[in-house]
Amino acid sequence: MAITIDAPPSRLWPWLVQMGCDRAGWYSWDRLDNGGVPSAEEIHPEWQEISVGDHLASTPSGSTWFEVAALEPQRFLGLRAPLDLRGHPFDTSGVRPNLYSDSLWAFLLEELAEDRTRLVVSGYQSARPRLVQAIQNFIFWEPAHWIMQTRQFANLKRRVESEAVPA
């Protein structure tokens, strides 16, 4: 999925790096993905530093998270969520559990002419058992992702494009 935002990557990037339930939220349907806490409407300097290995809470309880798996400032952010089928994160440096879901949520910022950015979001998931994964993806995860991602795009576009341009 992708959207074009009328601002350079340098204006979009700060919104992405402050994502997380314990930070600025996810800019989607806050009642569903942020425990009803409204996502931030401004850039927060205290949330601008992230590094590979950092955890961004994916649920209000903080019991699950996205791990920053890859990072190229103002260009790429890759968030990984390895979960066993009980919904608990597992250590990716060891052997995967017998039943698991390991997914990547990737944000690519492509600089366009006239100070615009193409934000391309993609994902990948590996899971066992595979049949359960295929059924869940078809019935629930793909439609849910489309609904949530569409809302995140609209909210990011509004926030970035309405932000005052530094003089």
| 37-54 pLDDT, tens digit each | 999 999 999 999 999 999
CA–CA distance, 144 with 112 (Å, rounded to integer): 29
Residue found under tokens 């996205």: 66
Entry pTM: 0.88
CA–CA distance, 34 with 25 (Å, rounded to integer): 6
If one counts the domains in the chain, the total is 1
Residue found under tokens 């530093």: 49
For residue 85, what is the domain's CATH number?
A: 3.30.530.20
The residues, any chain, with a CB within 8 Å of residue 1's CB and separated by 6 or more, are 120, 121, 122, 146, 149, 150, 153
Name the pLDDT band for 153 (thresholds 50, 70, 90).
very high
| 56-87 pLDDT, tens digit each | 998 898 888 899 999 999 999 999 988 887 77
96 in a structural domain: yes
Domain hosting residue 72, numbered range: 2-162
Name the pLDDT band for 164 (thresholds 50, 70, 90).
low
Q: What is the DSSP letter of 8?
A: -
